[in-house]
Structure 1
Amino acid sequence: MNKPSLIRAHNLTRAVILLGLAIYIYHLDHSESLHYYIAPRMEFWVSLCPAPLACIALSLLIQAFLVRKRSICDCTTLPSSAVRNAAVYGIFTIPLLLGFLLPNQALGSAAALKKGMTLSRQYLTEQTLKEKFKSPDIYNEEFAELARLLYAQPVIQVNQEIFYETIGAIDLFKQEFEGKPIRLSGFVYSDPSLDRHNAFALGRFLVLCCTADAAPFGVYIKPEEPVNLPQDTWVEIEGHIHVTRNQGKEIASINAVQIREIKQPKTPYIYPSDNSVDKLRKELASIKR
């Protein structure tokens, strides 16, 4: 059986953790910082969490101060070891404290260095392309259709909403896009393997669900003249697509004609698009108007 004081201590601890989590999510939502941690499609649902979390915390507080029971559900024995309780509740309290204490900021070069920057899209097949913009398999048909639309543009403007798909289409058909003008933005990432070639990667983080699964995704940039840009500087690149070799592999790169520093966008991450072709068509139609 559990002592009332032990039950009260556990209920109070859980209530404080849940209330802290509710306050933290509320703070992120109202400071427009949720996008640093989760994908846009999940923001609305996460923003609803503070209310139920606060209700559960209130229920635990009522149980702690008003209910006098020696068991919780007639089958549970609460641990009384201080070390064990500290270890269990520390799993929740330490990340919560770090969330309040550390600044909300986008992932950058430090995280990219740990995870490794990817400079080309990983294909589902390695079949050799035989015809221009013809999909090598059923999995890449959307990229092929997107490539046809992109190729018809005087300058390829890489849209934030379909960043990954656009770069994927270009990389899939890199030989056909040789010499095409392009404009895109991202943060500067460099390492010794790139520095010795007077190059850097223009990076973005691809987020599927939340920042825990964020993967650094970059484009190989070679400036016309040597540049000295600090890591994580946000820039807009204008240049031409070129096929180059990096670590023994052919990749799509950009010979940068112009590099301009910009402010970090409100939403710095990129996300998979459900239908990149339709989004590009709508964007092109709005431009023609």
Structure 2
Amino acid sequence: MKQSSLMGAHYLTRAFILLTLAAYIYLLDRSDSLHYYIAPKMELWVSLCPIPLACVGISLLIQALFKRRRSTCSCDHPLSSSVVRNAAVYGIFTVPLLLGFLLPNQALGSSAALKKGMALSGQYSTEQTLKEKFKSPDIYNEEFTELARLLYTEPVIRVNQDIFYETIGALDLFKKEFEGKPIRLSGFVYSDPSLNKRKAFAFGRFLVLCCTADAAPFGVFIKPEHTVHFPKDTWVEIDGHIHVTQNQGKEILSINAAQIRKIKQPKTPYIYPSDDSVAKLKRELAKK
């Protein structure tokens, strides 16, 4: 009888966790908030998870309430009766769920960037002239090089949301060749004491590969032409010119900002790696 009651308690706990997780994912999907936590290519699959989770949870609930349960198995792994051990194991699932329900759904910002460390950029006529001007240093940068050739012919470089990371990467790789070129881009304001002393700030986005657990702050050094002040995490759009500046003894990509406008946070605030940034840019340029 004691073993049966213990099994029922475990089944109830597992059913609660699974059903709560299903409800949480469902609510995120209904409120269009999944993009705060995972990459777009995974949203469809995650949005379908509540169905199997609910089925398993309901099955466990029925077994616990109506005592339709069998012995766990014959593999000598009895269910633990230790309160501390069970609290630790189930806490791994319940604590994140509790935080998920209690904390607001919002994009990562300056606080997360401060903890992870903002990585400022520091890492190019005729077609023949462009090929001579922009030569890939290795096979790993060929995509950046092709992007740079396309971007160089534009009167104003508009950093597209879909290829933000690749565009900044191309500009950073060939920053000296792009010196003085007009540019427009948007992101959130990130600042720290070292930047404040230079009357500058970092302009950030979070690069997400899979989910927000692997999100990395990705920034550009901004030097306003006029004194401005924006609270951290304010979303702004910047018009300026590309410049090469020194930061901690290294040459980095920077932008001399002529105009800075406050904007609303975009629906999808994060940036993601593109599977074919060159093709996307060509399609964008063809629409003009």
Partner of 1:160: 161
Q: What is the RMSD computed on CA atoms of the aligned residues?
A: 1.4
The secondary structure found in structure 2 opposite 1:93 is helix
The structural deviation recorded for 1:68 is 5.0
The structural deviation recorded for 1:186 is 0.2
What amino acid sits opposite 2:102 in the alignment? L
Write the mapping of 1:93-172 to structure 2, written as runs, cut at 5 A. Answer: 93-120=94-121, 122=123, 131-172=132-173
- Could you tell me whether the CA contact under 8 Å between 2:244 and 2:252 is conserved in 1? yes
The structural deviation recorded for 1:84 is 1.1
- Pairs aligned (count): 280
- Could you tell me whether the CA contact under 8 Å between 2:199 and 2:223 is conserved in 1? yes
The structural deviation recorded for 1:74 is 2.5
The structural deviation recorded for 1:63 is 1.5
What amino acid sits opposite 1:3 in the alignment? Q
The structural deviation recorded for 1:65 is 2.3
Partner of 1:63: 63
Partner of 2:35: 35
The structural deviation recorded for 1:83 is 1.2
Runs of 5+ consecutive residues of structure 1 not aligned to the other structure: 123-129
Partner of 2:25: 25
The structural deviation recorded for 1:173 is 0.3
- Aligned equivalents of 1:262 and 1:68: distance in 2? 57
80-89 or 178-187, larger mean C-alpha shift: 80-89
The secondary structure found in structure 2 opposite 1:183 is strand
The structural deviation recorded for 1:273 is 0.5
Cα distance change, pair 182–250 in 1 and its aligned pair in 2 (3 A): same
- Could you tell me whether the CA contact under 8 Å between 1:2 and 1:71 is conserved in 2? no
What amino acid sits opposite 2:150 in the alignment? L
- Aligned equivalents of 2:134 and 2:211: distance in 1? 33
- Aligned equivalents of 2:57 and 2:180: distance in 1? 60
Q: Aligned pair 1:279/2:283, yes or no? A: no
Write the mapping of 1:1-289 to structure 2, written as runs, cut at 5 A. Answer: 3-67=3-67, 69=69, 71-75=71-75, 76-120=77-121, 122=123, 131-287=132-288
- Could you tell me whether the CA contact under 8 Å between 2:122 and 2:251 is conserved in 1? no
Runs of 5+ consecutive residues of structure 2 not aligned to the other structure: 124-130
The structural deviation recorded for 1:131 is 4.7
- Could you tell me whether the CA contact under 8 Å between 2:189 and 2:231 is conserved in 1? yes
- Aligned equivalents of 1:262 and 1:223: distance in 2? 17
Identity over the aligned pairs, expressed in percent? 78
Tell me which stretches of 4 or more aligned residues in structure 1 moved more than 3 Å.
Answer: 67-70
TM-score by length of 1: 0.94
- Could you tell me whether the CA contact under 8 Å between 1:71 and 1:77 is conserved in 2? no
- Could you tell me whether the CA contact under 8 Å between 2:223 and 2:255 is conserved in 1? yes
Cα distance change, pair 2–131 in 1 and its aligned pair in 2 (3 A): farther
- Could you tell me whether the CA contact under 8 Å between 1:222 and 1:256 is conserved in 2? yes
The secondary structure found in structure 2 opposite 1:203 is strand
The structural deviation recorded for 1:188 is 0.3
Partner of 1:127: none
What amino acid sits opposite 1:108 in the alignment? G
- Aligned equivalents of 1:270 and 1:50: distance in 2? 26
